[in-house]
Amino acid sequence: MTLALGCIADDYTGASDLANSLAKAGLRTVQTIGVPAAGLALPEIDAIVCAFKIRSVPAADAVAAALQAETWLRGQGAGHVLYKVCSTFDSTDEGNIGPVTDALRARAGEPIALVNSAFPEAGRTIYQGHLFVGALPLNESPLKDHPLNPMTDANLVRVLARQSRSGVGLVDRKTIAAGDAAVAARLAALVQEGKGAAIADTIEDADLETLGRVAMTHKVSTGASGLGLGIARALVASGRVRAATSGSAGLEVVGGPAACLAGSCSQATLGQIAEAERIMPVLRLDAERLGTDGIAETDRAIAFAGERIGAGPVLVASSGTPDEVAAVQAKFGRDAAGHAIEAGMARIAEALVARGVRRLVVAGGETSGAVVERLAIPAFRLGPEIAPGVPVLHALGIAGGPMVLALKSGNFGAPTFFADALKLMP
Ligand SMILES: Nc1ncnc2c1ncn2[C@@H]1O[C@H](COP(=O)(O)OP(=O)(O)O)[C@@H](O)[C@H]1O
Ligand SMILES: O=C(O)[C@@H](O)C(=O)COP(=O)(O)O
């Protein structure tokens, strides 16, 4: 197997979002959880997305994981490695986008890395280095209230510079509209100025196609699904990959009980939980009690779901409003609160799978990471798309028969997302 593209994703929902974009562009794609064990049989594929949970861990740990994956992906033949980050640039001044990009670039011996988190299909655009979420600058969007990485500056050149060893420059829209040679010349000029990373503007998919072609002339880049799409289209257009009619599988019946878990506190997920209350039993966890008496609170959820899953899907949610999140964080601290709640969600998932659940929907990137790690699923192949950036995932390499999951980025999906997902997970 020779890979056309190797990807390292900083969270699990982001990984499936990217894998979905690559598959839609015709690349045969598999998502692995970390670097897979040597024995895992992979089908003939064009791209691998190695999913990690390294968005909110200490920078040194994120760098170590990414470098390990880079070595493995290069060993599989990947000429280009894309570091997949969130389209809303989720990070703090400590990292981890800057430290990992610096490390991957140094490892590849490249003078500069293109960095672009745009995903126009999901409303993420970049102009003069400023990231917009729909019509709002990042710092005015709901991301300002993210429980782990509140985004308070829309200027990605500044945001990345604060967390990078290298200087950061801008490739503006006018340069991108002028084409590949103009972008290459701008990157060369930035290298002369001593910059090691370049934020690139993007308003529409055509910009991503230019950036994808230019990225492929380098060994490493950093971006979200949009840049992945640009790179995939460049690979197909250049003839390096023959596009499959569809890089993902169609609808497959798995059957058995279904459950949904929500740990995202995004506005989108809060709305989706409210909507789900119209069609399925919903248990709202007491987040504070998860911190003080996690076993009792998760036992309550396991009993609630266990009594009902025979009759239809159920939803268990820890999600809270910004004020509720602030209160829990004031009591336990930001990281400890997040860890305790994630551990609770993982325990509930494990118990529900032990009770026969084979169809599982999880909302939230960190939450999905905690759940998938606990379930020890080594890899996924792609199923149909539920919403932009959210595919159905078929578990590979597990015992106990087929299992499907949907790992939803907190911000993604229509208000009816939980029902939409279950419809495509029969
Ligand atoms: N009620 C709550 N109070 C405080 N933190 C919470 C609450 N519910 C969930 N969390 C934590 O908030 C974080 C949400 O992150 P994540 O799951 O990645 O969602 P998103 O996809 O929206 O970023 C997780 O660490 C989760 O454990
Ligand atoms: O790029 C994106 O927006 C998503 O792929 C993603 O990474 C979302 O992260 P979470 O919101 O933490 O799920």
How large is the average pLDDT for residues 58-86? Answer: 96
What's the confidence (pLDDT) of residue 233?
95
Helix boundaries (H) for 163-308:
173-177, 180-192, 205-215, 225-237, 267-276, 287-292, 294-308
The CATH H-level superfamily of 5-237 is Putative sugar-binding, N-terminal domain (3.40.50.10840)
* Residue 398 CA, ligand 1 centroid: distance in Å: 27
Reported confidence tier of residue 72, pLDDT bands at 50, 70, 90: very high
Q: What are phi and psi of 40, to 5 degrees?
A: -70, 120
Reported confidence tier of residue 42, pLDDT bands at 50, 70, 90: confident
Ligand nearest to the CA of 19: 2
* Residue 390 CA, ligand 2 centroid: distance in Å: 10
Q: Which of 88-102, 245-259, 311-325 has the lowest mean pLDDT?
A: 245-259
Of all protein residues, the one whose alpha carbon is nearest to atom 27 of ligand 1 is 338
CA-based nearest residue to 32, from 395, 412, 401, 406: 395
How large is the average pLDDT for residues 49-76? Answer: 96
269 within ligand 2 shell (Cβ under 6 A) = no
* Residue 18 CA, ligand 2 centroid: distance in Å: 10
Percent of the chain exceeding pLDDT 90 equals: 88
* Residue 209 CA, ligand 1 centroid: distance in Å: 34
320 within ligand 1 shell (Cβ under 6 A) = yes
Same-fold call for 5-237 versus 258-423 = no
Ligand nearest to the CA of 57: 1
Reported confidence tier of residue 1, pLDDT bands at 50, 70, 90: low
| Best residue for ligand 1 mutational test, from 85, 341, 368 (most atoms within 8 Å of Cβ) | 341
410 within ligand 2 shell (Cβ under 6 A) = yes
CA-based nearest residue to 74, from 51, 50, 102, 94: 50
The per-residue pLDDT for range 407-425, each reduced to its tens digit, is 999 999 999 999 999 999 9
The per-residue pLDDT for range 137-194, each reduced to its tens digit, is 999 999 999 988 999 999 999 999 999 999 999 999 999 999 999 999 999 999 999 9
* Residue 308 CA, ligand 2 centroid: distance in Å: 30
Nearest-angstrom CA–CA distance, 398 and 71: 25
What's the confidence (pLDDT) of residue 210?
98
pTM for this model (two decimals): 0.92
Q: Is the pLDDT of residue 240 over 90?
A: no
The set of residues, in sequence order, having a beta carbon less than 8 Å from that of 311 and lying 6+ positions away, is none
**Torsion of Cα atoms, 219 then 180 then 154 then 103, to 10°:** 10
Domains of the chain, residue spans: 5-237, 258-423
- How far CA 163 is from CA of 212, 218, 334, in Å, comes to 24, 22, 20
Strand ranges (E), 303-403: 314-317, 359-363, 379-387, 390-396
- CATH code for the part of the protein at 258-423: 3.40.980.20
**Inter-helix orientation angle 180-192/205-215, to 10°:** 60
266 within ligand 1 shell (Cβ under 6 A) = yes
What's the confidence (pLDDT) of residue 400?
83
Whether the predicted interface score ipTM is above 0.95: yes
The set of residues, in sequence order, having a beta carbon less than 8 Å from that of 51 and lying 6+ positions away, is 9, 11, 12, 14, 15, 16, 31, 32, 33, 34, 369, 372
Q: Which of 95-99, 221-225, 381-385 has the lowest mean pLDDT?
A: 381-385
| Best residue for ligand 1 mutational test, from 92, 334, 366 (most atoms within 8 Å of Cβ) | 366
CA 62 to chain centre: 15
What's the confidence (pLDDT) of residue 275?
98
Reported confidence tier of residue 248, pLDDT bands at 50, 70, 90: low
Nearest-atom number in ligand 2 for the CA of 18 is 5
Strand ranges (E), 34-173: 47-51, 80-84, 113-116, 124-127, 130-133, 136-137, 167-171
